[in-house]
């Protein structure tokens, strides 16, 4: 039973020498970015679910082939050739809302080319399994939610000739029509999972973890890891927590397992930085302190950064993180409107955000905040207030995006109920650029215009702050040590793109 796990790359022209590519597996928030035509993107997340699934299959003795076309910058035509050479019995890949039309087109090509069972998973397929199976005959199965263990059980059942319709977390066609078994058994404890099969990515023939990159990191190569899954906060726009984890409880790898994997990443894969791309790394103070204690106890010397929050961290936690090698933290603000934050279900206090940002600055932890326009009762005034808030916030970078109310989230359901969704053209749900929610006295164009202008306005404001500039010089020196002149050049190029308004 041969399985092929893929992560397709979809690109579209975006002007002379540029193309827009779509980030897929590994990203909690499907979106698109600009890159030079024919080159890798500046943001490529590691496809965690695919890599854990591959590790489980390998551990069980099943042959597995991987092709991460996003990480390897592999065209669709070359991807098809890779898959054909593998002669798989089963091909699996994740769907996203903005790419679902192309995902289904690819399913038809793969079915025609290989005759293999085509299995979809990911957020969009999890939300609409009945519709996809009814619409597209080339799709044979859909795996729901976090799918690694379900895939292993499906492969076992197929190899043994057993009926897969009895499995939980699966959708397929039966004698009476589409069968959807939404019973969900989260993987717990997480330590049951082997280390992700990093040696198979982007491909087994050319493994190269330097292909995976988040521009926030300060050293290359930076190996991406998870220390937990899920989040106890219930933000109504959050896609992965609601859909992939079905609002399940927050689960953590044990601190010893986390640091074992850090050591493995450093020893086997040459990591010079670890990036914890959790849904929220800092949500459990005790867990963070125990990880930091384990790092110090082993005298492990490697810088690390994380996706955290500005809700839980306090001075004790930030000091422990810095002492254990933390050099960067991202966190979400989303809006400076207390009313919008309350409706989102995001327990953010703006004074607390200021304290966390200042605490990170005090300990040399680089910070990155996120602002999302187009949430709930957004107005011109609330967007301007959010911009002014982060202009005065002691952070080192900010990401501005336009909210996509992704299917499967409470935000999507509520906007649909209120009649505010003005299109179900999924290609417009790109997670960053296009507004699809209509607000009273606030047009799509105004939201998109505000988002395009905000990064340049923020940076121009910060360039007048001598203290902020001095800190950036220190971080740039860290980047030169961690990445060489290439990293410095990329940062200046990115700053230039922001100033001229390119995303």
Tell me the C-alpha distance between 277 and 258, whole Å: 13
pLDDT score of 352: 95
pLDDT score of 7: 97
Confidence of residue 332 (pLDDT cuts 50, 70, 90): very high
Q: What is the total residue count of the chain?
A: 503
Q: What is the DSSP letter of 146?
A: S
- Which residues neighbour 336 within 8 Å (Cβ) at sequence distance 6 or greater? 350, 382, 385, 386, 388, 389, 390
Tell me the C-alpha distance between 219 and 412, whole Å: 38
* 114, two tokens: 């290989």
CB atoms within 10 A of CB 353: 23
* 168, two tokens: 């939980």
> In the chain, what are the helix, strand and coil shares in percent, each to the nearest 5?
45, 20, 35
- Which residues neighbour 228 within 8 Å (Cβ) at sequence distance 6 or greater? 190, 250, 251, 252, 253, 278, 279, 280, 281, 283, 284, 287
Helix H segments across 91-143? Answer: 100-114, 123-127, 129-135
pLDDT at 498 over 80: no
Q: If phi over 0 gives left and psi between -120 and 50 gives alpha, with beta otherwise, what is residue 17?
A: left
Mean pLDDT of 247-266: 96
Q: pLDDT digits over 444-465, tens only?
A: 889 989 999 999 999 999 999 9
Q: pLDDT digits over 185-196, tens only?
A: 899 999 999 999
Mean pLDDT of 206-217: 93
Q: pLDDT digits over 80-112, tens only?
A: 999 999 999 999 999 999 999 999 999 999 999
Q: Is 389 helix (H, G, I), strand (E, B) or coil?
A: helix
pLDDT at 440 over 90: no
pLDDT at 503 over 60: no
pLDDT score of 497: 74
Q: What is the mean pLDDT of the chain?
A: 93
Mean pLDDT of 287-306: 98
- Helical packing angle, 485-500 and 466-483, nearest 10°: 140
Our CA dihedral for 180, 182, 183, 186, rounded to 10 degrees, sits at 130
What element of type H or E holds 173?
strand 170-174
């Amino acid at each position: 039973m041969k399985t092929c796990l893929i992560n397709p790359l979809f690109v579209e022209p975006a002007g002379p020498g540029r193309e827009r590519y779509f980030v897929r597996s590994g990203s909690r928030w499907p979106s698109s970015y600009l890159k030079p035509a024919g080159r890798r993107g500046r943001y490529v997340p590691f496809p965690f679910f695919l890599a854990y699934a591959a590790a489980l299959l390998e551990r069980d003795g099943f042959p597995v082939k991987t092709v991460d076309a996003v990480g390897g910058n592999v065209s669709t035509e070359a991807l098809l050739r890779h898959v054909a050479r593998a002669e798989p019995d089963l091909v699996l890949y994740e769907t996203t809302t903005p790419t679902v039309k192309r995902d289904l087109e690819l399913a038809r090509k793969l079915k025609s080319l290989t005759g293999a069972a085509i299995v979809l998973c990911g957020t969009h397929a999890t939300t609409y399994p009945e519709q996809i199976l009814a619409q597209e005959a080339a799709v044979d199965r859909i795996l729901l939610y976090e799918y690694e263990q379900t895939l292993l059980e499906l492969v076992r059942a197929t190899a043994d000739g057993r009926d897969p319709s009895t499995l939980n977390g699966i959708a397929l066609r039966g004698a009476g029509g589409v069968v959807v078994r939404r019973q969900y058994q989260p993987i717990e404890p997480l330590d049951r999972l082997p280390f992700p099969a990093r040696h198979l990515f982007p491909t087994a023939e050319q493994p190269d973890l330097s292909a995976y990159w988040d521009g926030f990191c300060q050293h290359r190569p930076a190996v991406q890891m998870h220390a937990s899954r899920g989040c106890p906060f219930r933000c109504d726009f959050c896609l992965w927590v609601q859909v992939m984890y079905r609002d399940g409880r927050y689960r953590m790898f044990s601190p010893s397992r986390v640091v074992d994997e850090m050591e493995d990443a450093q020893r086997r894969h040459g990591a010079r930085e670890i990036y914890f791309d959790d849904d929220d790394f800092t949500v459990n103070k005790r867990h963070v302190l125990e990880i930091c204690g384990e790092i110090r106890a082993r005298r492990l010397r490697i810088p690390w950064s994380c996706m955290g929050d500005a809700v839980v961290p306090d001075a004790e936690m930030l000091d422990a993180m810095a002492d254990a090698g933390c050099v960067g933290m991202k966190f979400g603000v989303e809006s400076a409107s207390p009313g919008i934050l309350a409706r989102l279900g995001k327990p953010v206090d703006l004074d607390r955000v200021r304290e966390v940002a200042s605490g990170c600055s005090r300990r040399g932890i680089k910070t990155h905040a996120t602002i999302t326009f187009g949430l709930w009762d957004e107005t011109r005034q609330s967007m301007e207030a959010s911009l002014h808030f982060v202009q005065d916030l002691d952070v080192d970078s900010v990401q501005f995006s336009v909210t996509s109310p992704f299917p499967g989230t409470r935000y999507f359901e509520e906007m649909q109920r209120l009649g505010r969704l003005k299109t179900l053209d999924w290609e417009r749900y790109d997670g960053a650029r296009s507004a699809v929610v209509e607000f009273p006295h606030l047009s799509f164009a105004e939201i998109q215009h505000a988002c395009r202008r905000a990064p340049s306005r923020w940076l121009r404001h910060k360039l007048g702050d001598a203290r902020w500039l001095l800190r950036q010089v220190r971080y740039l020196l860290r980047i030169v040590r961690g990445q060489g002149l290439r990293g410095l050049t990329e940062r200046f190029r990115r700053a230039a793109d922001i100033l001229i308004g390119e995303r």
